[in-house]
């Protein structure tokens, strides 16, 4: 496949160029993440009004929802990076996907555990087999499989491609999972607890939530770039630019 | 097509040569299903209720476990290498292997399932749904499982890693498969469910062989 | 014609060989020499497309191999460390499958080839009941069957008895004399006049590289 | 005893070297258990009812499947041969292998089980019974499974044949194990059940190593 | 002292050798010769107690071996077709385990032995990352470590390069000169004066039998 792409796209393929660009962008994202997260947390935990039903326990939403959103976005990102890596043979794309996987898995774990903690007071159970929860759990398994596959190959290039194949198969499957799980649930049993009905939140509640989500994205970008840069150095440690980099800074 | 034919024939010959390969998934299926009355409860009402789920889980596990050796032997003895350095299409060969694998697992499981269903007191109205869902659903399991097998074949003791990779992808098939049988037991229409399972099968049938071939090449070149 | 330019391979930060250049023409017999662990097997696998641990270019008929893989594979017969035969099948069944894979295994009948390698009377014995050397002979029967222009053989004489080695040596010489090409590794002594056989010694290559870092172009005399 | 120690240490080292061997039975356990709510029903009442049985069946299957490779690798690479021709006791070695196998499967399964029990809505009163029965019951499973593994190790693709041999012997453990948990869930005394499981463990612990050693010798000499 | 009387072995109704008689004293080097499939490996495995396909008697120090197996195994070092090393462990870890198995592997330290076989610098590499010959070298490092009186070696030089073969030949000669015993098979030429090495040719034995025996036996094609 030879699809013409703009110049910057091919520049991305150069490890050195990517390394430098990410080095430039990182501080900005770090700063934004810090500002947004601090604002969001302080606002959400201290100033947002308590929920009329759940009291203060609802405040875990400020962690729970952003991590749940990010857990899913991260998988999409990995799939896109996987396609780019496979089609245009772009090493950097694979490295980005690989660096993203553990972050996505952590986000999924955070979403699951905050959800479980929240579930106990609101539902009286740590876990219910609700559609959304179940598909999240499956997402976690997919992440773990992908991470295991990356580490199982001795040739890093092979590991990249293997994991990309699995990611692509997985991403095709995610809508199917979501759909089937939802259908399965409503078919047999009227869900005792629905997450789909949005609590009618006043703006004082959802604005900090939005800030938290944005903060999470910035934080994600920051960590992703940091991890990618480390992985780039590790893989390219033989090449000229890394040697130059290491000798330049005593 | 000629080559696909030859590949299927060869696999079936190999399966016949050590007949245990054919009997084993069936035996496993049978044994797992007999464990449940022992472990859960021998009551007919309880069993009939959970029977669709149990039979489908057992079929899924039987497929999954036989998957592990699908490419392993060919990898270990160098046959896979020989196929990669031959001018024949790896995707076609993979498809042949999957087809003959399905013939000796999923297909036979589906034929055997009514017997087990009777043991679990599944109402007889559900039998067409059971056999139908297994016949249409298990090819998808074999195809997806083969992707996992191909990805892990080169790894020293990839072992049960394949389960981790493949089980999440099996879940939609499991859900719809079990739901079909449950609907059948309640005398509800099942054609919608079967059509969905069929669509999944066609979809994986078109894409999986290429994914398998790519994964095999990767594993060999690692 | 096979041409290799600037071929470099490293495993776990050990450079096995760097900037290897050679080309092989009709009638050439090339022996890769080197002590254990010097990278002979790695080199052969790279040439066959069975390893991705390399940088550099490989050309077949003056075109990049990766651009015309089917052509190249059509012309190639590879006999690796692993015999590539199925233990559960008989010698004859194994070779019949090989013929399906490689259309060019058509020089003589399978029975003739088995007679040539001294397995007359063992056609119907499953290969697991053959001795180490006999199994290897089944694999080498392909040489008698082959009309491929290019042979790549990794330690073909392992486990073969003395008489067998002499016969196979003669066969290889005949192959190149008839205009074929052959690359092989073997620790056996190959007693042939200088002009018949060319040698590349990977030990020397490794030596020159380890001292130099800027990767000089190392040209093997052709 | 010294040798037993060394054998256990070696096995644990091997397990650590490819960490997947440790994680895999656990992952399998987890995955199988999550399949049931999907296939059977997500309702808390239904699940709580069948949870003891399901968890025990899953633990049994996880043990059984990891069993297959217990001696296989040692057989294939010649390590087992070396042990047979050494003056050390094969029974002691077998015991060492089983102990370290149990540490990396049954033991970890027992520790993990409360988490899964929560997901299946098992009442919290049943937790001690669950963990206790798994801790006392799984060693028996490992020991019996090892006999099956030893008997089938030499067979080409014995594969799932081991299930056929071993599952019938697992049934008493399964019945009492699941019954213990059910009793625990109903707040009934469980010490009688546990004592029975303990007696089974001691009995197999005393006899199984010799059976395993004899079976291994048989398999090798075949 | 090892004595063999009337040893006969047949596989699948083919007599490999019949009424074989020989004895081995301190300082004896015995080479088993024969073409591929003549029964060399089978003979060695019988001597080590790794095969039960035989009739006849084997004595060690004038006592039936089966009566005093531990004594015999204490004195025996066997290197078989399979290397008997674990791919996941390093060379050093493998040899340390061998030492646990055989108390007589105590002649020098492991590091010294590894240096002797040319694996200096590879101590910490897991064996799967070694070449075919290097893996074989790890296995042969036992010869340097061994103070066993009896060595039984099956094709010890497989995959070893020329320099390595010469070194190991010298080691074997030294072993018998110091009063050890050695039985080996090899297709390599062993260039030694007649009085140093004794040879048994199984091809000739097969010939003599086929005429005497009443079982419809099979003449191995020459
Ligand atoms: C382990 C248990 C749980 C998991 C895995 C989970 C997962 C998720 C996921 C995947 C989302 C969707 C994020 C998005 O894409 O918009 C979400 C949103 C949400 N969750 Fe949870 N959740 C869990 C428990 C809970 C509990 C106990 C509550 C409170 C009763 C809760 C309340 C919410 C709310 C209010 C939202 C935002 C809804 C929306 O914007 O659509 N979750 N959760
Ligand atoms: N598992 C088996 N089942 C049946 N027959 C076997 C088995 N293994 C070997 N044989 C037969 O026994 C004979 C001797 O085999 P063996 O391995 O001892 O030969 P060998 O002399 O070591 O040959 P090589 O030089 O090839 O190593 C062979 O003809 C073979 O067909
Ligand atoms: N899977 C692997 N991972 C890492 N390194 C490897 C792997 N396989 C081989 N190597 C290394 O590559 C080097 C060359 O191996 P190769 O098998 O090509 O040697 P060889 O020349 O064929 O040796 P031999 O004569 O022993 O067959 C060895 O030093 C080995 O350590
Ligand atoms: Mg080699
Ligand atoms: Mg032999």
Question: In this structure, what are the phi and psi dihedrals at residue E82, rounded to the nearest 5 degrees?
Answer: -85, 140
Nearest CA in chain E to C37: E131
Q: Which of E52, E96, E97 to mutate to test the interface with D (most CBs of D within 10 A)?
A: E97
Give the length of chain A: 250
What pLDDT is recorded for position D207? Answer: 95
What pLDDT is recorded for position D90? Answer: 93
b/e sequence B99-129, b meaning 16+ C-beta within 10 Å: bbbbbbbbbbbbebbbebbebbebeeebbeb
Q: Which of A238, A242, A244, A247 to mutate to test the interface with C (most CBs of C within 10 A)?
A: A238
The SS3 assignment for A69 reads: helix
- Maximum mean pLDDT: which of A44-48, A181-185, E130-134: E130-134
Q: Quickly state the pLDDT bin for A198 (edges 50, 70, 90).
A: low
b/e sequence C104-115, b meaning 16+ C-beta within 10 Å: bbeeeebeebbb
Q: A129-143: per-residue pLDDT in tens? A: 888 888 899 999 999
Mutate which of E14, E18, E34, E41 for ligand 2? The one with the most ligand atoms within 8 Å of its CB, which is E41
- pLDDT one digit per residue (tens) for chain C, 222 residues: 899 999 999 887 788 998 999 999 999 999 999 999 999 999 999 999 999 888 899 999 999 998 899 999 999 999 998 888 998 899 999 999 999 999 999 999 999 999 999 998 898 899 989 999 999 999 999 999 999 999 999 999 988 998 999 999 999 999 999 999 999 998 887 777 767 788 888 887 654 443 333 333 333 333
Ligand 2, closest atom to CA E187? 25
What is the 8-class DSSP label of residue C32? E
Examine residue A56 and state whether it is found in any structural domain, yes or no: no
Residues of chain D in contact with residue C88, where contact means CB-CB under 8 angstroms, are 156
What value does the mean pLDDT take over residues B46-69?
90
What DSSP string runs through A116-184?
HHHHHHHHSSS----HHHHHHHHHHHHHHHHHHHHHH-SSHHHHHHHHHHHHHHHHHHHHHHHHHHHHH
- Residue B164 is nearest to which of D27, D66, D69, comparing CB atoms? D27
Q: E3-22: per-residue pLDDT in tens? A: 999 999 988 888 899 899 99
- Residue C12 is nearest to which of E36, E129, E155, comparing CB atoms? E129
Closest CA to E93 of D9, C177, B75, B62: D9
What pLDDT is recorded for position D160? Answer: 62
What pLDDT is recorded for position E29? Answer: 93
How many domains would you assign to chain E?
A: 1
CATH number for the domain spanning C177: value is 3.40.50.300
What pLDDT is recorded for position A243? Answer: 81
**Residue E196: which domain range?**
2-221
The runs of H, that is alpha helices, within D68-160 are 69-76, 79-84, 90-104, 106-119, 127-152
What pLDDT is recorded for position A83? Answer: 93
Q: Whose CA is nearest to atom 10 of ligand 2?
A: C129
What pLDDT is recorded for position B171? Answer: 92
Centre of ligand 4 from the C-alpha of residue A172, in Å? 42
Examine residue A200 and state whether it is found in any structural domain, yes or no: no
Q: Quickly state the pLDDT bin for E116 (edges 50, 70, 90).
A: very high
What value does the mean pLDDT take over residues D190-194?
94
Nearest CA in chain A to B165: A145
Residues of chain D in contact with residue E98, where contact means CB-CB under 8 angstroms, are 82
Residues of chain B in contact with residue E85, where contact means CB-CB under 8 angstroms, are none
**Residue A152: which domain range?**
62-190
- Residue A141 is nearest to which of D31, D42, D119, comparing CB atoms? D31
Examine residue A13 and state whether it is found in any structural domain, yes or no: no
Q: E117-171: per-residue pLDDT in tens? A: 999 989 889 998 899 999 999 999 999 999 999 999 999 998 899 899 999 999 9
- The residues on C that touch A, with CB distances below 8 Å, are 52-53
Q: Could D160 and B25 be called an inter-chain contact, meaning their C-beta atoms sit closer than 8 Å?
A: yes
A128: pLDDT strictly greater than 50: yes
Q: Could E101 and D78 be called an inter-chain contact, meaning their C-beta atoms sit closer than 8 Å?
A: no
Residue A133 Cβ inside 6 Å of ligand 1? The answer reads yes
Q: Quickly state the pLDDT bin for A113 (edges 50, 70, 90).
A: very high
| Residues in CB range of E6: below 8 A, 6 or more apart | E19, E20, E21, E55, E56, E57
What is the 8-class DSSP label of residue C213? S
Q: Quickly state the pLDDT bin for D57 (edges 50, 70, 90).
A: very high
Taking CB atoms within 8 Å and a gap of at least 24, the contacts of D109-117 are D109/D25, D109/D26, D109/D29, D109/D59, D109/D62, D109/D63, D109/D134, D109/D138, D110/D134, D110/D135, D110/D138, D112/D26, D112/D29, D112/D30, D113/D55, D113/D59, D116/D29, D116/D30, D116/D33, D116/D55, D116/D58, D117/D51, D117/D55
Does the pTM surpass 0.95? The reply is: no
Residue ranges lining ligand 3, Cβ < 6 Å: A 154; C 11-12, 16, 34, 36-42; E 128-134, 159, 161
Percentage of residues of chain C with pLDDT beyond 70: 91
> What does the mean pLDDT of chain E come to?
87
Percentage of residues of chain A with pLDDT beyond 90: 45
Q: Could C80 and B220 be called an inter-chain contact, meaning their C-beta atoms sit closer than 8 Å?
A: no
- Residue B14 is nearest to which of C51, C82, C86, comparing CB atoms? C86
Residue A118 Cβ inside 6 Å of ligand 1? The answer reads yes
CB pairs under 8 A between A and C: 4
Residues of chain D in contact with residue C87, where contact means CB-CB under 8 angstroms, are 156
Residue E146 Cβ inside 6 Å of ligand 2? The answer reads no
What pLDDT is recorded for position C210? Answer: 39
Q: Whose CA is nearest to atom 38 of ligand 1?
A: A198
Residue A132 Cβ inside 6 Å of ligand 1? The answer reads yes
What pLDDT is recorded for position C209? Answer: 42
Reported ipTM: the value is 0.88
* Inter-residue contact B113 to B134 (CB < 8 Å): yes
Percentage of residues of chain A with pLDDT beyond 70: 90
CB pairs under 8 A between A and D: 32
What pLDDT is recorded for position A4? Answer: 65
Q: E22-60: per-residue pLDDT in tens? A: 999 999 999 999 999 999 999 999 999 999 999 999 999
How far does E157 lie from chain C, in Å, by closest CA? Answer: 10
What value does the mean pLDDT take over residues D4-20?
85
Q: Enter the tokens of residue D53.
A: 């049985």
Cβ neighbours of C178 (radius 10 Å): 11
Q: Could B41 and D21 be called an inter-chain contact, meaning their C-beta atoms sit closer than 8 Å?
A: no
Ligand nearest, relative to CA of residue A62: 1
What pLDDT is recorded for position D24? Answer: 75
Q: Quickly state the pLDDT bin for E211 (edges 50, 70, 90).
A: very low
Q: Which of D11, D78, D97 to mutate to test the interface with E (most CBs of E within 10 A)?
A: D78
The SS3 assignment for C7 reads: strand
- Maximum mean pLDDT: which of A62-66, B73-77, D139-143, E23-27: D139-143
How far does B222 lie from chain E, in Å, by closest CA? Answer: 12
What pLDDT is recorded for position D20? Answer: 64
**Span between the terminal Cα atoms of chain A, in Å:** 44
Q: Could E37 and C125 be called an inter-chain contact, meaning their C-beta atoms sit closer than 8 Å?
A: no
Centre of ligand 5 from the C-alpha of residue D148, in Å? 30
Measured CA to CA, the distance from residue E79 to residue E44 in angstroms comes to: 10
Q: D96-114: per-residue pLDDT in tens? A: 999 999 998 999 999 999 9
Domain boundaries, chain D: 2-221
Look at the alpha carbons of E42, E46, E52, E55 in this order and tell me if their dihedral is positive or negative.
Answer: positive
Name the β-bridge partners of C15. Answer: C10
Centre of ligand 1 from the C-alpha of residue D61, in Å? 33
What value does the mean pLDDT take over residues A71-97?
93
Percentage of residues of chain D with pLDDT beyond 70: 95
Q: In what helix (H) or strand (E) does residue B185 lie, and over which residues does it extend?
A: helix B161-185
What value does the mean pLDDT take over residues E78-100?
92
Q: Which of A41-45, B201-205, D140-144 has the lowest mean pLDDT?
A: A41-45
What pLDDT is recorded for position D157? Answer: 59
What DSSP string runs through C144-204?
HH---SEEEEESTTTT--HHHHHHHHHHHHHHHHTT-EEEEE-SS-----TTT-EEEEHHH
Ligand 3, closest atom to CA C202? 21
Q: Could A126 and D34 be called an inter-chain contact, meaning their C-beta atoms sit closer than 8 Å?
A: no
Q: Whose CA is nearest to atom 1 of ligand 2?
A: C129
| Residues in CB range of B38: below 8 A, 6 or more apart | D171, D174, D175, D178
Centre of ligand 1 from the C-alpha of residue D92, in Å? 53
What pLDDT is recorded for position B16? Answer: 85
Measured CA to CA, the distance from residue A39 to residue A59 in angstroms comes to: 14
How many domains would you assign to chain A?
A: 1
Measured CA to CA, the distance from residue D180 to residue E51 in angstroms comes to: 46
């Amino acid at each position: 496949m030879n699809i013409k792409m703009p110049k910057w796209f091919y520049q991305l393929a150069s490890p050195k160029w990517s390394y430098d660009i990410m080095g430039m962008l990182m501080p900005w994202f770090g700063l934004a993440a810090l500002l947004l997260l601090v604002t969001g947390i302080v606002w959400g935990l201290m100033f947002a009004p308590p929920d009329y039903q759940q009291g203060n326990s609802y405040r875990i939403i400020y962690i729970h929802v952003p991590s749940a959103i990010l857990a899913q976005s991260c998988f999409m990102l990995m799939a896109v990076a996987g396609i780019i890596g496979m089609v245009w043979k772009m090493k950097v794309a694979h490295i980005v996907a690989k660096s993203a996987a553990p972050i996505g898995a952590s986000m999924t774990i955070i979403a699951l555990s905050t959800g479980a903690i929240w579930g106990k007071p609101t539902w009286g159970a740590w876990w219910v087999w609700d559609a959304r929860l179940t598909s999240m759990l499956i997402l976690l398994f997919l992440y773990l499989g992908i991470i295991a596959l990356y580490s199982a190959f001795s040739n890093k290039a092979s590991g990249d491609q293997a994991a990309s194949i699995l990611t692509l198969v997985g991403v095709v499957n995610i809508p199917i999972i979501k759909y089937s799980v939802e259908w399965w649930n409503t078919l047999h049993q009227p869900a005792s607890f629905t997450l789909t009905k949005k609590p009618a939140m006043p703006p004082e509640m959802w604005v900090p939530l939005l800030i938290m989500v944005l903060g999470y994205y910035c934080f994600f970008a920051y960590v992703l770039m940091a991890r990618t840069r480390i992985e780039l150095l590790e893989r390219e440690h033989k090449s000229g630019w890394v040697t130059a980099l290491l000798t330049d800074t005593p | 097509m000629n080559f696909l034919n030859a590949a299927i024939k060869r696999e079936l010959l190999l399966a016949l040569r050590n007949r245990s390969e054919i009997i084993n998934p069936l035996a496993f299926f049978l044994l797992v299903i007999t464990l449940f009355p022992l472990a859960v409860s021998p009551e007919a009402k309880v069993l009939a209720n959970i029977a669709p789920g149990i039979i489908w889980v057992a079929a899924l596990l039987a497929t999954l476990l036989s998957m592990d050796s699908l490419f392993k032997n060919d990898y270990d003895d160098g046959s896979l290498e020989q196929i990669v350095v031959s001018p024949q299409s790896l995707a076609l060969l993979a498809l042949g292997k999957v087809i003959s694998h399905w013939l000796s697992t999923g297909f036979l499981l589906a034929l055997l399932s009514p017997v087990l269903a009777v043991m679990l007191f599944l109402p007889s109205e559900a039998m067409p749904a059971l056999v139908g869902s297994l016949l249409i659903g298990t090819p998808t399991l074999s195809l997806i499982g083969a992707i996992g097998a191909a990805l892990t074949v080169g790894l020293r003791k990839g072992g049960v890693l394949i389960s981790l990779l493949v089980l999440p992808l099996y879940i939609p098939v499991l859900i719809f498969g079990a739901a079909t049988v449950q609907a059948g037991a309640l005398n509800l229409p099942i054609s919608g469910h079967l059509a969905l399972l069929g669509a999944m099968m066609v979809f994986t049938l078109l894409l999986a062989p290429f994914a398998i071939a790519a994964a095999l090449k990767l594993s060999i070149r690692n | 014609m096979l041409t290799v330019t600037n071929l470099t391979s490293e495993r776990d930060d050990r450079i096995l060989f760097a900037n290897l250049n050679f080309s092989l023409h009709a009638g050439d017999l090339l022996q890769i020499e080197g002590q254990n662990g010097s990278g002979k097997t790695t080199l052969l696998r790279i040439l066959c497309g069975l390893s991705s641990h390399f940088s550099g270019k490989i050309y077949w008929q003056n075109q990049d191999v990766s651009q015309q893989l089917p052509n190249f594979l059509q012309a190639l017969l590879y006999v690796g460390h692993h015999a590539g035969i199925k233990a559960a099948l008989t010698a004859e069944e194994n070779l019949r499958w090989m013929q399906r894979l490689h259309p060019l295994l058509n020089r003589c009948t399978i029975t003739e080839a088995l007679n040539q390698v001294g397995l007359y009377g063992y056609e119907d014995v499953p290969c697991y009941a053959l001795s180490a050397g006999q199994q290897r002979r089944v694999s080498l029967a392909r040489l008698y069957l082959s009309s491929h222009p290019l042979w790549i053989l990794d330690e073909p004489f392992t486990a073969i008895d003395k008489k067998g080695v002499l016969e196979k040596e003669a066969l290889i010489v005949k192959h190149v004399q008839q205009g074929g090409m052959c690359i092989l590794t073997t620790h056996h002594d190959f007693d042939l006049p200088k002009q018949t056989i060319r040698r590349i010694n990977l030990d020397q290559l490794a030596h020159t590289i380890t001292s130099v870092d800027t990767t000089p172009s190392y040209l093997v005399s052709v």
